[in-house]
Amino acid sequence: MRIVVTGAGGFIGHHLIKRLRSEGHWVRGVDIKRPEFEASRADEFLIADLRHFKSCLQATADIDDVYHLAADMGGIGYISANHASLTRNNTLINSHMLEAAKVSKARRYLYTSSACVYPAFLQDIEDVSPLKEEDAIPADPEKGYGWEKLFAEQLTMYYHEEHGIDTRIVRFHNIYGPLGAYQGGKEKVPAAICRKVAMAADGAGIEVWGDGEQTRSFCYIDDCIEGLLRIMESGYTKPINLGTDELITINDLVDAVCSAAGKHLLRDHDLTKPQGVRGRNSDNTLLKEVIGWQPAITIQEGIKYTYDWVAGEIARRKVTAGEDLGAMRLEK
């Protein structure tokens, strides 16, 4: 098939293109930037700003399937500080991509949403229950990012109902793994902690946002990609969770990273920093019913892969910086 992956310069998009190409599909990658850590595996890579409808038409031209991952997003610090611009950017991207897919007569359209669509009142409590898809309504999603994701879900369903587009809506629950941002403000929690642990000397302390008792479930990238492909083939057109139901605290996540690094570190909890909802977990009942599968890679296994990659990147950059510095000294 001829497939387009938007957000192809990002973490999930890069892994998805690699998998699709390995299965023999022709893939066009589209992003406002190229991948940061590896060259794209796409057959064609289009640098485009999907806030503009013309760019979305270019992205979807002569395409069978659309995997729409592109979004202005980042970790909790970034999305908490950029409600207006983030909401505007993503609303433009999502609405233009749907219309372009309709005009281009794409066969199938998969939209990647987020667990941020779920109501805060179900998550700002100590003993959280796993979130079921129907829990999103009545609505009280996270400010900015959560609201625009929920709106885009509704718009995707309207295009299915009124224009016959064969749509999928996938709610990600904290996807992590190698080739993702680990610094700069847009990194997610697992990558940020991996970076802090990799840069800390054994026995030192690292900053942890909040008291560390916030709970989350984290889904490793390989499981995420497998889930995306299975959901695309499922024929299911309503929102569906994609994540693990292995709930852990942030303190437990720090322990898992320290174990992967072979370090013993102290935690310096900063209660002034954004920490999101108190708890969030994925209910995978519907996922198992629809595709007969659910993510299985444990946090200990996935974090080991992720930490090794992040630590390797930090070590590589230190070497490169040292070589550059040496060259500058020689020139002087």
Per-domain residue ranges of the chain: 2-176+220-242
Structure tokens given for 36: 């940061």
Cα(150)–Cα(140) distance, integer angstroms: 10
Confidence at residue 324, expressed as pLDDT on a 0 to 100 scale: 41
Confidence at residue 322, expressed as pLDDT on a 0 to 100 scale: 55
The string of DSSP codes covering 102-146 is HHTT-SEEEEEEEGGGS-GGGTSSSSPPPBPGGGG-S----TTHH
> pTM to 2 decimals?
0.93
pLDDT tens digits along 43-87: 999 999 999 999 999 999 999 999 999 999 988 889 999 999 999
Angle at 283 between CA 280 and CA 285, to 5 degrees: 175
pLDDT tens digits along 110-168: 999 999 999 999 998 878 899 999 999 999 999 999 999 999 999 999 999 999 999 99
Of 36-45, 91-100, 309-318, where does the model show the most confidence? 91-100
| Residue 221 burial (10 A CB sphere; 0-12, 13-18, 19+) | buried
Q: Among the CATH numbers 3.20.20.30, 3.40.50.720, 3.90.660.10, 1.25.40.10, which is that of 2-176+220-242?
A: 3.40.50.720
Is the model's pLDDT at 31 over the cut of 80? yes
**118-132, 148-162, 250-264, 312-326: segment of lowest average pLDDT:** 312-326
Instruction: Please say if 145 is a catalytic residue.
Output: yes
Cα(37)–Cα(306) distance, integer angstroms: 14
Catalytic residue among 78, 111, 118, 145: 145
Structure tokens given for 115: 């667990």
Closest C-alpha to 245, from 176, 191, 174: 174
Amino acid code (one letter) for 265: L
